A and B are shown apart, each in its own frame.
Chain A
Amino acid sequence: MSRFYIIFIFLCVTVSGVRGSTLQFRNPDTSDSCRIFQKADDLFRQQNYELAAAEYERCFYLSSSKEISYKALQQKAMCYKQTGDYEKAAFNLERIADAYEDYYQIALCYYLSNNFSKSLETIDKCHLFFDSLQEDMLLLKILTLNELNKYEDSQKASEELANRLKNSTDKDIAPQINNLYSDLPKLKSEQTARILSFVPGLAHIYANEWGKGFTAFALNAAALGFGVWQVLDKCYLTAYLGGAGLLSVTYPGAMKNGIYTVKKYNYNKTSQFNNNFKQEIISILQHGK
């Protein structure tokens, strides 16, 4: 009888042990992952991108197949692209980045989320891993460098792109591309703006903001004038606290605003150039091909 109990307890422990291990170390079969993948795909088709992203993540979590995990995160990134959350899309692609196309997508996502330094970093990493960059990545590099105001590097990359296309399609688009760089935005020097801002309004005028410049000058002149008038009127305390006190507020304000105006001017100029450049180069490449 005691042998009976010992065997029974042994079997119980073995069976329940097997049961416990299935709970702790899940290794679901591929069909399970496929089912979840299909569910996620359905949600994607229904444009329920947020829930689809979560289900693709579940697929990644459950699947033991490298291929399914890879596809799941690719699709998850696609969901975030659809919702315009490019940073998240890039983050998810970085988890599986392996192929050239992955790096291109990551760089593109960072570019679309205005994270240009990260985009350039990814392109450089891709260059390091795959020796040379393909045309699509070169174009992205050119656009990214433009956004970072690195026009010299951008021109070099453009020349490389033109040479590559000349070799593959026999069409020389180098003159057209070089022509795009002939009208680079003439940016105002921030250092000059800093020096000019010592005279209130001058930095504004340097940035072609004449109205703002005159207003800043008039305000400061009025404060100074009031102070001088009070000195002449022998009201020294009023001169010091009224005139100088007011000037201590308006003068640094005008300086700061002058430098900001120049920065804004430069930003507008580069944005305008970069947007035109983007349209032009795409049109050249479409016709060139």
Chain B
Amino acid sequence: MKRILVFIFLLAPLICFPQQNNSAKDEFDFVMYLIGNSMKEEAVVLMQNNTEDNDSINFLKGFTFYSSKMLNLAADNFSKVSRSSELFNESKFFSSLSNAHLLELDKAESDLLAVGSQDEEIMNLKNFSLAGINLLKRNYNLFDNYIHQVDTNNYPLNIETERLLQLKTELLSYKKKSPLIAGALSSLIPGLGKVYAGNIGEGISSFLICGSFMGVTAENWYKKGLANWKTILFGTISTVFYIGNIYGSAVTVKVNYENFNSKTDVQILYNIHIPVRNSFRR
């Protein structure tokens, strides 16, 4: 009799509360179903109207907004997940990704620094992500520090790590060109500054346009004199194109550098995003 009572006492919680936390789990499953089936708008509407404030829902809100590229809202909601939650580390990784996409790199880094776990895989991912964030910040010393802590035996991370190292090499080997030299070259020969900046086609086209107008001006000056209206008209046009070309060459150098940087940033973000999603199977 005594044993039977002990049985009942021990099994009672399992029998009486079999579906504890089911509502949050149901909501979680349903929203994941919506996101997985290209119904992100419905998921966003549900989350915007959900007034519950618990870790599961906050994470779910964050993930829904993250999937719908509403990154500010995503970062806000991920940050509400409490440290005691089992979703804490995951939310910090996704919050870091959201902030990194928003180029809030300090916030992204502090999100990752908050990650703590005994799990080697999580710590490996943390070091890898921190390396990525520091590469975005162009802080090569910290990048090296974190990337060397990544376990290269980990297959998916191994590929991404190599990719990050390759991007670092590309960043370091990029020869930054001087806008001043580009402008000076274009003032000597129109279009030469653009060739120096790397835009050969644009340089040739600028040379032809400026050269044509200068040729027409010269022809009219030679045949009709300096005071002829055609000489003045084409001379003015030539001058505008000539000055514009000098300015354009200097700007091209800057734009090319910015394009290279943003293209590299996109690649870095892509490379740190894939392992996080794969690790958490999202």
**Highest count of chain B CB atoms <10 Å: which of A26, A62, A234, A235:** A235
| Interface residue B201 (Cβ < 8 Å from any Cβ of A) | no
Closest CB-CB distance, B15 to chain A, in whole Å? 6
B49:A23 contact, CB within 8 angstroms: no
A15:B14 contact, CB within 8 angstroms: yes
B220:A15 contact, CB within 8 angstroms: no
Which residues of B in the span 1-59 have a Cβ within 8 Å of any Cβ on A?
Answer: 3, 7, 10-11, 14-15, 18-19, 22, 25-26, 29-30, 33-34, 39, 41-43, 45-46, 49
B220:A235 contact, CB within 8 angstroms: yes
A12:B216 contact, CB within 8 angstroms: no
Closest CB-CB distance, B31 to chain A, in whole Å? 10
Can you report 12 A-B residue pairs in the complex whose CB atoms are below 8 A from each other? A12-B11, A19-B19, A22-B19, A23-B19, A23-B22, A23-B25, A26-B26, A53-B42, A54-B45, A57-B39, A234-B223, A235-B219
A4:B234 contact, CB within 8 angstroms: no
B212:A238 contact, CB within 8 angstroms: no
Binding site for A on B (CB under 8 A): 3, 7, 10-11, 14-15, 18-19, 22, 25-26, 29-30, 33-34, 39, 41-43, 45-46, 49, 212-213, 215-216, 219-220, 223-224, 230, 234
Closest CB-CB distance, A3 to chain B, in whole Å? 10
Closest CB-CB distance, A37 to chain B, in whole Å? 15
A-B contacts at CB below 8 angstroms, number: 68
Chain B residues contacting A16 (CB-CB under 8 Å) are: 14
Chain B residues contacting A242 (CB-CB under 8 Å) are: 216, 234
Chain B residues contacting A280 (CB-CB under 8 Å) are: none
* Further pairs besides A8-B7, A53-B45, A241-B215: 9, Cβ < 8 Å: A11-B7, A12-B10, A15-B14, A15-B18, A19-B14, A26-B26, A51-B46, A235-B230, A242-B234
Chain A residues contacting B215 (CB-CB under 8 Å) are: 237, 241
Chain A residues contacting B41 (CB-CB under 8 Å) are: 50
Chain B residues contacting A57 (CB-CB under 8 Å) are: 34, 39, 42
In the complex, residue of chain A having the shortest beta-carbon distance to the beta carbon of B25: A23
User: CA A57 – CA B19 in complex, angstroms?
Assistant: 23
B216:A238 contact, CB within 8 angstroms: yes
Give the contacting residue for B220; candidates A11, A19, A53, A238; CB below 8 A. A238
Chain B residues contacting A237 (CB-CB under 8 Å) are: 215-216, 219
| Interface residue A18 (Cβ < 8 Å from any Cβ of B) | yes
Chain B residues contacting A50 (CB-CB under 8 Å) are: 41-42, 45
Interface of A is mostly: helix
Closest CB-CB distance, B171 to chain A, in whole Å? 42
Chain A residues contacting B34 (CB-CB under 8 Å) are: 54, 57
Binding site for B on A (CB under 8 A): 4, 7-8, 11-12, 15-16, 18-19, 22-23, 26, 50-51, 53-54, 57-58, 61-62, 234-238, 241-242, 245
User: CA A245 – CA B34 in complex, angstroms?
Assistant: 57
Chain B residues contacting A235 (CB-CB under 8 Å) are: 219-220, 223-224, 230
Identify the 8 closest CB pairs spanning chains A and B, nearest first: A54-B42, A19-B18, A237-B219, A15-B14, A50-B45, A241-B212, A54-B46, A238-B216
Knowing A4-B3, A50-B45, A58-B30, the reply to whether A18 touches B220 (Cβ < 8 A) is no
Knowing A23-B22, A235-B219, A238-B219, the reply to whether A61 touches B33 (Cβ < 8 A) is yes
User: CA A11 – CA B13 in complex, angstroms?
Assistant: 13
Chain A residues contacting B216 (CB-CB under 8 Å) are: 237-238, 241-242
**Highest count of chain A CB atoms <10 Å: which of B25, B42, B46, B213:** B42
